[in-house]
Structure 1
């Protein structure tokens, strides 16, 4: 019997799983496909780190490690839902909740002083940030808007804000003394073991990391951001935002770049409130209130300071004196600087571009914005799109083309695999990367506070990435552009490999180019305005950025993308969109028993997962997948996706309609008579009981819902909330 692994993750996707998974298991069972679950939620990952501190009935296995092993085998068929990439505030909140539920997990030690505390911190550091994706992604990504989704967007266009030529919105980036400008890169000639060392001005050597295994042909990079230049840049941009009378905002990836970007975020907070930190910085540090965790954490902790009221007043004066800050929630006073994970670049920049180049200001209105992206590696992509909108106006979803993506990400490729090789300098000197023979491969002069990092990209994923790009270009007869900049050290090495590996494939008649990211972005938006498609073939970070940027403009959300990861050893990983885990949706459910999360990404991924089993010889799974795709198209056209207002169809209601359309498709198909026979009475019952089911689903809305926990809900309570229709359950459950 074939097995599909359905991951249990976090927040809205996790809650939706309580409703949708019973339907999936019921239908899959008829094709002899077993659907099992694995808990890779933030809470589950925390508990897996501390089995010795838990009771027998509290212990859970390390599901992420298990799936990481599975992903390297031909048998893998994993459906991966969005999960929390935990920032420090999220990690600590999850720990507090688990402790309150009776789990004896330890506090996170901010300043470990004992071996035990250092071990605890190391365990938690495995959990925070992007801990899941690098483990599971043993293949490169193929992300695109499915035909049904693109058709729906053209027939039912989403709102797009108007742009004016005199818009003052722009991107500000360093362009010097940053990661991009200081990058060095080498190709490893033979299998080796590297070390990273800091050589102080007096010659004292400190090993920052050793035992770094590398393979022949691997690309290894090293770079540094000089904080003196960063601080000067931030001061200039804060002053410029005030002079131009635009909102000031910073856009980072503090979840994925979980070492470097929180540090950069902290520098932004310090730069915005220079007087506060000059006068009270020592008091804040002594109280453990770090700007790296955001302004919100500091303000929440001021009550414990003897001079807390004075410090709070100083922050309020800083807000009044500085430029207007972009807001996450104007009504609640939550600024762009409150929480590092609130304004994530790949989601926040496309939303700004879609909304006339505006963000929300302290007055609750929309305003032009200075978008600060300190590192210049990819900032120019957003500036290119902004300039196009300023020149030509907003994009038109009814006519615009598409920019699917082939992304290099396998085996922790590129910057998102750099966490364990990123360091904040504690002394001046020089950081060097040395090989097993002691030869220096790369080196940078550093000052105290500088942020130094190295990253790796193995050769096999690059070769597979080139193959996937050609395969997609051939299958769709679409031009493909490698977004690589020959003036950047890392990209020069990748360009050489791309040029070496392209001749291994039949590229006859295909339009395949290599352009810098800025030129590639400019070409792509020119083409989508003409209704033409262009495949973006990118590295790991641009994969993340582009698969939010273009889908949000094209179809209104990145959650509707089809995301397939053909695993390098033959298995399949099917990701359910790039829409995040929607914490605000959970808040609405708890307050109003209404979940507006859209599971469309799960529907699309599940169909591909069934087809993967079909390709492996299970013809009935193929029928299930094809029928599910047709049902999804009907769901979109009949407008049965979740609405936004209580009293309307929500996530649970969309699952009912999907089940009904799916059963009808299976009952009417002619490829498999047995499936038609099984699902004919199911479809009939769902049609006949539609009014009763809808009444039961809507009837529970409008009151608080108890799910027993945010990061680790109570299973029985969550299932009760997410499956409130006895009529629907009575039809589906006998199939399970």
Structure 2
């Protein structure tokens, strides 16, 4: 039997799975398609690392490793929902929840000393940050707004905040000594096994990473952010925000850039509270309270310190004396600096731009903002959009064009600041990448605290990326721009490869160009104001940024994108949108049994998965299921059956019912397979006849607290009970 693997992930997407997956499995079975799940949730990934400490009933297989292997095979068909890219505070919270449930898990070692602590830390480091995506993404990314979604956005434009020509909102970024300006890059000549070494001023050599395997033709980079320059820059921006009377905010990626960006975040916290850290920094460090974990972690942990009251008063005095700080939740006093994973650049910057260039201030009002993005590699794209909005006003979703993306990410391409090649220098000296014959390939001088990172981009990934860009440009007739900067070391090597590989494809009549990111962004937004589309062909980080920036402006959300990863060995990975608002949705569900999460991206991913399976397996019924699901989703949008925003309207569970109803009706109407039509005619009739009863049963549970048995590891029985409250709907689906 053909298989679709559905991932069990985290937070709101995972809760929605309890409601939607029974419908998916029942419908797919009529085409001989089995739907299986694999647990790649944060809790599941933690549990899988420690089988020796757990009971037989508690143990879980390493589902992520299994799916990583499957992704290299032609039969792969994986639907991947958003998962937690865990920051340290999230990882610690998940560990505590599991410990409280009886799992014998070790605490997260902040400063591992013993071999056992180092081994434990290594296991947890495999779990934190963007641990899932690089494993599964054995192909490059094709992300675009489905036609039905784009048409709906034009007919029902979402709200856009007005822009003023005198807006004082701007981006602040470094102009020297950051990752962008210190980057060095080389194209590897032959297969080799390298090592990364730190050589101290006294000649002591420490191997930071051994057994770094490289392949001929791949692009290898290294760079360093000098923390002295970083701290000077941050101090200046705090002063600038106060002088300009705008909110101060920092925008990082402490989830994907799980090693580098929490460190940078810690420097921002120190720069905002210099007097407090000068006076109490040693005491906080001794108590294990790190600015890298945010102000929230510090304030939550100072109660046991002798100087707790004085430390709290010092933080409050500097908050009052400094510039107004952008807020995550002004009602609860949660600032931009409370938790490193609360403000993620790819989601926070588009949201700010959509809202008149404003963020929320401590007074509960919107205000112009200084958006601090320390590394200048891509900060210019946001300044380009801000400058355009200041000059021309807000975008109009009813007329604007689209910017789909072809993203380079196969085989962990351009995984900056994330994995096992990012280090904080522990002593002055040099850090170098050394070939097996002893030659230095790349080298930087470093001072204590500098952040050094390297990354790899396989040549095969680049070739596939160029091929996918040409394929999309040919399929759509849309101009495509490679967002590459010839003055940046890494991009210069990519440009040479793009120029070498483009002639291997039929590009006759296609408009394919190369431009630096800020210039490419300016061209793209000029075109979307005219209602024209432009494909952005980007590296991995810009793939992440652009597939939030443009969808949030065009559609109001990035959760409604079609995200296909044609795997390099023939399989398919189908992603279902972003998960940035998932935590708030879970909190609302627990408080009042209402889940606002929108599964629309899942509907599109499932249709694409069925279409792919139909081609791979020559399964005509799977193709019919995919085609009818697309038509049902268009009806779903036109009938406005997405989750509402207030109690008493349908939530995520009601939206699943209506999708199931419209899908059954489309299957009953199709004429290609009479037996399939007959099977669904009965179900469609039952669902339509009982529509009011089902909606009433779904809505009746709203307004009271819901017990799901855990945030990171819900209890299956409790979660299913909460997410499937309509007996009438459940019986109808079971009857199929």
TM-score range, shorter chain: over 0.9
- The residue that corresponds to 2:296 in the other structure is 296
Could you report, residue by residue, the CA deviation over 1:553-594 in whole angstroms, capped at 9, with x for unpaired residues?
A: 000000000000000000000000124361010000000000
Match of 2:670 in 1: 669
Q: Provide the secondary structure at the position in 1 that maps to 2:382.
A: helix
Shift of 1:200: 1.2
Secondary structure of 2:420's counterpart equals: helix
Q: In the alignment, which residue of structure 2 is the partner of 1:637? A: 638
Alignment of 1:255-404 (within 5 A): 255-404=255-404
Paired position in structure 2 for 1:22: 22
8 Å contact 1:84–1:581 — kept in the other structure?
A: no
Greater mean deviation of Cα atoms: 100-109 or 147-156: 100-109
8 Å Cα contact 1:134/1:417 also seen in 2? no
Instruction: Give the alignment of 1:697-736 within 5 angstroms.
Output: 697-735=698-736
Deviations 1:92-145 (CA, angstroms, capped at 9, x unpaired): 000010011111111111121211111111100100000000000000000000
Does the 8 A contact of 1:109 with 1:117 survive in 2?
A: yes
4+ residue runs of structure 1 moved beyond 2 angstroms? Answer: 415-418, 578-581
**How far apart, CA to CA, are the structure 1 residues paired with 2:417 and 2:208?**
17
Note if contact 1:347-1:549 (Cα within 8 Å) is conserved in structure 2: yes
In 1, Cα distance between equivalents of 2:398 and 2:226: 45
Give the Cα separation in 2 of the matches to 1:112 and 1:466. 43
Which one is further off, 133-142 or 114-123? 114-123
Structure 2 counterpart of 1:505? 505
> In the alignment, is the contact (CA less than 8 A) between 1:82 and 1:581 conserved in 2?
no
Q: Residue 541 of structure 2: SS of its match in structure 1?
A: helix
**Alignment correspondent of 2:421:** 421
Q: How many residues align?
A: 735
Q: Distance in 2 between matches of 1:159 and 1:181?
A: 38
Report the Cα distance in structure 1 between the residues aligned to 2:102 and 2:199, rounded to whole angstroms: 47
Q: Is contact 1:418–1:456 with CA below 8 Å preserved after alignment? A: no
**Residue correspondence of structure 1 range 456-535 to structure 2 within 5 A:** 456-535=456-535
* Within-5 A mapping of 1:213-228: 213-228=213-228
- Alpha-carbon deviation of 1:415? 3.3
CA contact (8 A) 1:172 1:374 kept: yes
Q: Which residue of 1 aligns with 2:209?
A: 209
Q: Secondary structure at the match of 1:502?
A: helix
Tell me what 2:439 maps to: 439
Aligned to 2:654: 653
Structure 2 partner of 1:454: 454
2:105 maps to: 105
DSSP 3-state at the match of 1:3: strand
Task: Provide Cα deviations, 1:377-396, integer angstroms capped at 9, x if missing partner.
Answer: 00000000000000000000
CA distance, structure 2, for counterparts of residue 285 and residue 318 of structure 1: 19
161-170 vs 668-677, which moves further: 668-677
Q: Between 667-676 and 480-489, report the one with greater CA deviation.
A: 667-676
Does the residue aligned with 2:412 lie in a helix, a strand or coil? coil
- Deviation sequence 1:328-369 (CA, Å, 0-9, x none): 000000000000000000000000000000000000000000
The whole-number CA distance in structure 2 between the counterparts of 1:657 and 1:132 is 31
1:409 & 1:596 partners in 2: Cα distance? 31
Instruction: Spell out, residue by residue over 1:646-681, the C-alpha distance to the aligned partner (whole angstroms, 9 max, x if none).
Output: 111100000000000000000000111111010000
Contact persistence 2:261–2:417 (CA under 8 A) = no
RMSD (CA atoms): 0.7
Structure 1 residue 417, shift from structure 2 partner: 7.1
1:191 corresponds to: 191
* 1:541-556 to 2 correspondences below 5 Å: 541-556=541-556
Aligned-partner Cα distance in 2 for 1:611–1:194: 42
In 1, Cα distance between the equivalents of 2:42 and 2:63?
11
Aligned ranges 1:600-615 → 2 under 5 Å? 600-615=600-615
Q: Deviations over 1:425-448 (max 9, x none)?
A: 111011111111111111111111
- Partner residue of 1:164? 164
How far apart in 2 are the matches of 1:175 and 1:643?
A: 45
SS of the counterpart of 1:368? strand
> Take 1:298 and 1:593, find their aligned partners in 2: how far apart are those partners?
32
Counterpart contact for 2:45–2:64, Cα < 8 Å: yes
SS at 1:419's partner residue? coil
- The answer to whether the 8 Å contact 1:222/1:442 transfers is yes
8 Å CA contact 1:418–1:454 kept in 2: the answer is no
Q: Distance in 2 between matches of 1:58 and 1:178?
A: 45
**1:554-703 to 2 correspondences below 5 Å:** 554-580=554-580, 582-616=582-616, 617-703=618-704
Question: Deviation at 1:302?
Answer: 1.0
In the other structure, the counterpart of 2:407 is 407
Q: Deviations over 1:211-239 (max 9, x none)?
A: 10000001000000000000000000000
User: Does 2:131 align with 1:131?
Assistant: yes
Q: Distance in 1 between matches of 2:324 and 2:673?
A: 63
Deviation string 1:414-468 (CA, Å, 9 cap, x unpaired) is 1347520000011101111111111111111111100000000000000000000
CA contact (8 A) 2:198 2:430 kept: yes
Q: Deviations over 1:281-308 (max 9, x none)?
A: 0100000000000000000001111110
Q: Is the 8 A contact 2:217 2:458 kept in 1?
A: yes
Contact 2:416–2:453 (Cα < 8 Å) also in 1: no
Task: Give the SS at the match of 2:229.
Answer: helix
What displacement does 1:164 show?
0.5
Deviations 1:59-116 (A, max 9, x none): 1100000000000000100000000000000000000100111111111111212111
CA distance in 2, matches of 1:183, 1:734: 61
Bigger drift between 548-557 and 412-421 goes to 412-421
Supply the distance in 1 between the matched residues of 2:475 and 2:148 (Cα, whole angstroms).
Answer: 18
Residue equivalent to 2:46? 46
Q: Say whether 1:73 aligns with 2:79.
A: no
Distance 1:65 1:417, change over 3 A: farther
State the distance in 2 between where 1:233 and 1:580 align: 28
> Contact conserved, 1:185 with 1:442, CA < 8 A, in 2?
yes
Aligned-partner Cα distance in 2 for 1:568–1:188: 22
- How many angstroms apart in 1 are the aligned matches of 2:523 and 2:608? 31
TM-score (norm 1): 0.99
Q: Which deviates further from its counterpart, 192-201 or 86-95?
A: 192-201
After superposition, the Cα gap between the structure-2 partners of 1:715 and 1:648, relative to the gap in structure 1 and judged at 3 Å, is same
Conservation of the 8 A alpha-carbon contact between 1:54 and 1:103: yes
Q: Distance in 2 between matches of 1:59 and 1:415?
A: 30
CA deviation string 1:262-289 (max 9, x = no partner): 0000000000000000000010000000
Distance in 2 (CA, whole Å) between partners of 1:415 and 1:3 is 30
